[in-house]
Amino acid sequence: MAKKNKRLKIALIGYGAISQMLFDVFEEKKPPIDIVGVLVRPGRAKATQKAVGKKVAVVEDLKALLKLKPDVVVEAASQQAVRDWGETILKKGFDLMVIATGAYGDPKLWKKHRDAAAKSGARLRLPSGAIAGLDGLLAMRLGKLERVKYTSIKPPHAWTGTPAETDFDLPSIKEPTVIFHGTPADAGRLYPKNANLAVTVALCGAGLDRTDIELVADPTLPPGTNASRLEVVSDSGELRLERLGKSMPDNPKTGVLTALTMADDLMKMVRASDW
């Protein structure tokens, strides 16, 4: 929790659709949050610097990013970024927000990062992403979870560049079609830009071995949208939530709500009295 009158300093890994939306949200809402730096791939610094302005440092290596002393490092890049830099960030005592949670379909990596955070005192934050109902799932797991199923539904073209492109003729799909049915770890591994939430749901609920995942290509969705469905059965009752949301204008694989939940989580780290 940020101290009163202290502005929260965040550093971003990646400058894609999610990071750009975080800049836009903070510019509009004006919370006491400063984006102090952005880590980009070699060769992208000049263009990114022009986009973000001179007040934000644009760097090409993690060491330079951490020299900015952010309160939170926000991963908005990829599962590979989580694997490459997550442990170092946490070991050095920096809080880390991870949205590419599909990387944690690897139980060893998940344990390694949790252990690093526990040892250094850093916090590992997993925002809810483009889904609702995780608060209910977290509460229900205190009892006995009998069934947890997560379904991600996107238009066929959102699955290009994935195994579905080989297994199905995506442009010819005329009705909702299940393109994957399996475990969260496999969904996150095979569909790293589409199915990170499969692992988030598993970690918040019944675990990687007891969560059922379906990925669906649906040409009947309204243009520019994607959807999801969460179904939970437990000894405390049942939960069924459906979401229809807008996808990023330039990235149909990612929902707008993904960036908004990250922004909301960061804004909750500063006290209302600081606004």
Contact status, residue 105 vs residue 208, Cβ threshold 8 Å? yes
Q: In sequence order, what are the residues at sequence separation of 6 or more whose Cβ sits closer than 8 angstroms to the Cβ of residue 34?
A: 7, 8, 9, 10
Distance in angstroms (rounded) separating the CA atoms of residues 171 and 156: 7
- pLDDT at position 1 is 43
Q: Using CA atoms, how far apart are residues 76 and 82, in angstroms rounded to an integer?
A: 9
Cite the residue boundaries of each domain of the chain with CATH code 3.40.50.720. 8-129+258-274
- Is residue 27 within 8 A of residue 20, CB to CB? The reply is no
Tell me if 77 sits within 8 A of 86, measured CB to CB: no
Question: Where are the domain boundaries for CATH 3.30.360.10 in the chain?
Answer: 134-253
Q: What's the pLDDT score for residue 250?
A: 82
CATH number, domain 8-129+258-274: 3.40.50.720
pLDDT, residue 224, reads 96
Q: Domain 134-253 adopts which CATH fold?
A: Dihydrodipicolinate Reductase; domain 2 (3.30.360)
Of residues 42, 39, 45, 32, the one with CA closest to residue 67: 39
Distance (Å, whole) CA 188 – CA 239? 23
Per-residue pLDDT of the chain (275 residues; tens, 9 = 90+): 444 558 999 999 999 999 999 999 999 999 999 999 999 999 999 999 999 999 999 999 999 999 999 999 999 999 999 999 999 999 999 999 999 999 999 999 999 999 999 999 999 999 998 888 999 999 999 999 999 999 999 999 999 999 999 999 999 999 999 999 999 999 999 999 999 999 999 999 999 999 999 999 999 999 999 999 999 999 999 999 999 999 998 888 999 999 999 999 999 999 765 66
pLDDT at 2: 45
> Tokens for 102?
């599909």
Quick one: pLDDT at residue 251?
86
Q: What is the pLDDT of residue 6?
A: 83
